[in-house]
């Protein structure tokens, strides 16, 4: 199975369903990042926006809500269950956003359609990032803008790897996080990101570190750990005894992040812009 097939399988099965199930929790957790991206995108009064790796549609719908009634906002994601949830969200909120189930690396977008292409944590999973961003470049108008948020490295985001470090003795087959491989930290190296974008036809690339405070309730923590990330994915296949043992082992590892009944951590990201 190649990298593209692996991502499609993952996001159309356990990982995609987990994100749908945890939609409300993730909306609350990443709302500060959503607000930053939506503010940056809508400040320029765009007419036609593409949200890449839109997931369950939180950022897409938030942008559509803020845009002119005649403007268009489209979300694209490889995960059918997540796009189903995004369409339901847009319908429920009566927001005129549209959604496409597709791999943005290869999808045949209308050439030169979008004046803005954006993403919140949705562009680090491409099997061939140069090809993907070249495809997105072809979908952008001349002088079109690119804006996205991506995670910096694992060392900058210790919260994100706490569960797998604590669970490692009980789950020895957790997948290894390989530098530059498709995944959460694929864009940790800003020089690599710049090289990818310039090789795919984007210019005036600007990459800035961004540290954003994120929170969830302490009562949400077990659901977060047991459903999301490498540990959550592994636990979907585990028996109840293993799930209970791993959860009991992992939960205390987060004690340093808990304050007054709230889990607090810093999301260390890049804000990347280009045209």
- pLDDT digits over 135-192, tens only? 999 999 999 999 999 999 999 999 999 999 999 998 888 888 888 899 999 999 999 9
Look-up: residue for tokens 């810093």?
Answer: 266
C-alpha distances in angstroms, 231 versus 150, 243, 264?
21, 10, 20
Residue 3 has pLDDT above 70, yes or no: no
> Is the pLDDT score of 263 beyond 90?
yes
The CA–CA distances, whole Å, from 26 to 59, 119, 146, 214, 220 equal: 12, 16, 24, 10, 10
Half-sphere exposure of residue 55, counting CA atoms within 13 Å on the CB side? 24
* Res. 213 pLDDT band, cuts 50 70 90: very high
Rounded to 5°, the CA angle 138-108-20 comes to 105
CA 269 to chain CA centroid, Å, is: 11
Looking at the DSSP assignment, which residues form a beta bridge with residue 149?
120, 271
77-87: pLDDT as tens digits: 999 999 999 99
C-alpha 17/C-alpha 149 separation (Å) is: 23
Q: What is the mean pLDDT of residues 256-270?
A: 96
The pLDDT assigned to 53 comes to 97
pLDDT, mean over the chain: 93
Q: pLDDT grade, residue 18 (50/70/90)?
A: confident
Confidence at residue 1, expressed as pLDDT on a 0 to 100 scale: 58
CA dihedral sign of residues 202, 208, 209, 215 = negative
User: Three-class SS of residue 148?
Assistant: strand
Residue 9 has pLDDT above 90, yes or no: no
Q: What pLDDT was estimated at residue 2? A: 65
pLDDT of residue 12 exceeding 80: no
Q: How confident is the model at residue 203 (pLDDT cuts 50, 70, 90)?
A: very high
* Strand partners of residue 218: none
Question: In the chain, where are the structural domains located?
Answer: 3-154+176-215+268-274
Say yes or no to pLDDT of 14 above 80: no
Identify the H or E element spanning 60. Answer: helix 58-66
Quote the pLDDT of residue 233: 87
Which CATH code fits 3-154+176-215+268-274? 3.40.50.150
- Measured CA to CA in angstroms, residue 160 lies from 24, 112, 183, 266 at distances of 19, 37, 13, 10
Least confident of 15-19, 32-36, 91-95: 15-19
What per-residue confidence (pLDDT) applies to 84? 96
Return the bridge partners of 101, or none.
Answer: 77
């Amino acid at each position: 199975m190649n990298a593209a097939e692996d991502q499609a399988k993952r996001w159309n099965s356990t990982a995609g369903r987990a994100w749908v199930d945890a939609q409300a929790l993730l909306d609350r957790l990443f709302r500060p990042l959503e607000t930053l991206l939506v503010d940056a995108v809508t400040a320029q009064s765009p007419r036609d926006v593409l949200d890449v790796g839109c997931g369950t549609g939180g950022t897409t719908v938030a942008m559509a809500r803020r845009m002119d009634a005649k403007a268009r906002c489209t979300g694209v994601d490889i995960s059918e269950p997540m796009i189903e949830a995004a369409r339901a969200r847009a319908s429920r909120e009566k927001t005129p956003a549209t959604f496409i189930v597709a791999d943005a690396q290869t999808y045949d977008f209308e050439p030169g359609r979008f004046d803005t292409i954006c993403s919140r944590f949705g562009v680090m999973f491409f099997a061939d990032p140069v090809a993907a961003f070249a495809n997105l470049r072809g979908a952008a108008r001349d002088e079109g803008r690119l804006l996205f948020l991506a995670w910096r490295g694992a060392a900058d985001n210790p919260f994100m790897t706490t569960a797998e470090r604590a669970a490692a003795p009980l789950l020895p087959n957790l997948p290894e996080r390989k530098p530059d491989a498709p995944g959460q930290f694929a864009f940790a190296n800003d020089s690599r990101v710049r090289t990818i974008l310039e090789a795919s036809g984007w210019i005036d690339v600007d990459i800035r570190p961004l540290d954003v405070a994120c929170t969830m309730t302490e009562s949400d923590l077990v659901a977060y750990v047991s459903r999301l990330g490498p540990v959550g994915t592994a636990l979907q296949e585990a028996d109840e005894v293993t799930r209970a043992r791993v959860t009991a082992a992992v939960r205390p590892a987060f004690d340093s992040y808990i304050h007054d009944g709230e889990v607090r951590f810093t999301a260390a990201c890049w804000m990347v812009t280009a045209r």
